Amino acid sequence: MNSLASLADALDRVARKAGKGIGWVILPLIFVIMFDVITRKIDTTRLFFSEFTVNYGYSISTILQDLQWHFHAMLLMLTFGFGYLANAHVRVDIFREMLSKRRQAWMELICLIVLAVPFLAFMIVYGWDLMALSWHQGEGSDSMTGIDYRYVIKAFVPLGFLVAMFAVIATLLRLWNFLFGNEEASDYARTKLEIFTDHAELMKAKEAAERALRENGDGA
C-alpha cells in the first residue's frame, strides 16, 4: 500500500469516526424533544416551569427548543463527510450510472476538483469568520431566556466542512490511485471507493420497473 493510500485511509477514518460518533447525539435529541413536548402538555409541569422562569429568568422550554436545533446542527454538519464516503447522499446524474467505472472515476475526480474543493474551502474560511464574529459579539439566543454562547454551535460549521474536506481529499487520493496507480494500488483503491454504480442492482431495478409497467398495463 503506497503513501497516498495510507493518507486516504487516515482521512477516511477521521471522517467516519466523526460521523459515527456524532450519531449518538440522536439519543439526547429524542429525549429533549419528548421531554419538551410532554412537559408543555401537562398542567403541573407547565405551571412549575413557568414559575421557574419568573423566579430565575430562564425558560426551560426555550432552552430545550434551542437545544433541539443545536443537536440537529451538530448531526447535520459532522455527518456530511461520512455520508459522502458511504455514497449515502442523493445522486441525480442519471447518465453517469451507465458509464464504465473509469469514466465514473474521471467524472468524480473532475467534479471534486472543480466544484467540491473550492466550495468546501470557501465554507471553511467563512464558517470560521462566522464563528469568530459570534465570539467577539458575545452572541446569544434570539430569545432572552434561551442558550447563550452561540459561537459554540456555530463552530460546528467550519468543523463540519473540514471533516467533509477530509472525505473529499481521501476520495481524490483513491481516484488518483485508481486511475493512475499501478495494478496493486488501483485494485486497492477500487475496493475502498463506494462511488461506483452497482450495475447488477441497476439491472434488477430496471427489470422490476419494467415488470411493474407490464402488470399495470395488463391490469388496465
pLDDT at residue number 106: 94
Burial of residue 94, with CB atoms counted within 10 A of its CB: 0-12 exposed, 13-18 middle, 19 or more buried: exposed
pTM score of the predicted model: 0.83
Q: What is the pLDDT of residues 90-103, one digit of tens each?
A: 777 777 778 888 99
pLDDT at residue number 46: 73
Q: What is the pLDDT of residues 139-191, one digit of tens each?
A: 887 777 678 888 999 999 999 999 999 999 999 999 999 999 999 999 999 99
pLDDT at residue number 52: 72
**pLDDT at position 198 over 70:** no
pLDDT at residue number 146: 73
* Stretch 68-83: mean pLDDT: 93
Tell me how far apart the alpha carbons of residues 81 and 181 are, in angstroms, rounded to a whole number: 24
**pLDDT at position 199 over 60:** no
pLDDT at residue number 187: 92
Residue with cell 447522499: 89
pLDDT at residue number 201: 58
* Stretch 69-84: mean pLDDT: 93
Q: Which of 154, 145, 181 is nearest to 6 (CA)?
A: 181
Domain with 154, as residue range(s), is: 3-219
Q: How many domains, the chain? A: 1
